[in-house]
Amino acid sequence: MPAASTTFRVLALSVIASLSVTGCQAIDDAGRAIGRSDLVNDLAARLDRALELTYSADYQLPGGRAAAIAQAQAPARSAYIWPGGKLTVTAEATTRCETGPAKIVCTLLAPPVTTAKPSVALFTEAKQRGLITPPVVVGLLTEAALDPQAVVGQSDTTLAGHLATCVDVQRSAGDFTACVTTEGVLGSFTGSLDGTPMELALTRYSNTVDGTSFELPAGAGVVDRRSAGS
């Protein structure tokens, strides 16, 4: 097994809870009983609310590769960067950039209805390139909360110096482990999506963002297809 994969497996194992909350209840910090669906829904809601924050986050992917997410408000805009590509969502356009044989090519498409909480469908390409985004994880957590057969474990950990709550979900549709920081930022994920193993871990978090994150890469070729729709 490659060293990078081993590192991620150790991370995943470190956050698997010793407490199963299927068929029973967990206890939160205030001593209140919470059910399986409450626990998973709480993390989903935390991630969802964080879509309205301003922050930048760097992630490690398998094989030493890197990815990043940046968000800013007023106006709402976001950028998702992975090896060889980038997705930027603003009020003006949805921009997909890919590194081609000769140069980077960016395609401008019509912006989503809401830039604050863009559709999960926008992130298909990022997911195929190894970057699982918060909206996709929100969907997985919501599905787990609705699955009466899901087995959910819970624990706490620290990622890039930030406290995070983790859930280890075992279900017929596919197991996964997800950690969400107290700020609501995706801390880590290990699992399989559409038959493809996915792993990432937070390496840096800041509540500020560089405005250049939302700009086109220098020297990129531009194809404007906004008038034709997405």
pLDDT value for 101: 79
pLDDT value for 190: 96
> How many Å apart are CA 95 and CA 141, to the nearest integer?
27
Tell me: pLDDT of 19 over 70: no
Q: What does the mean pLDDT of the chain come to?
A: 81
> How many Å apart are CA 98 and CA 168, to the nearest integer?
33
What digits encode the pLDDT tens for the residues 24-63?
Answer: 333 343 333 346 678 888 999 999 888 889 999 999 999 9
Host domain of residue 167:
3-228
* Torsion of Cα atoms, 88 then 90 then 95 then 98, to 10°: -10
The whole model's pTM is what?
0.79
Tell me: pLDDT of 149 over 60: yes
Q: For residue 100, what is the domain's CATH number?
A: 2.50.20.10
Domain count, the chain: 1
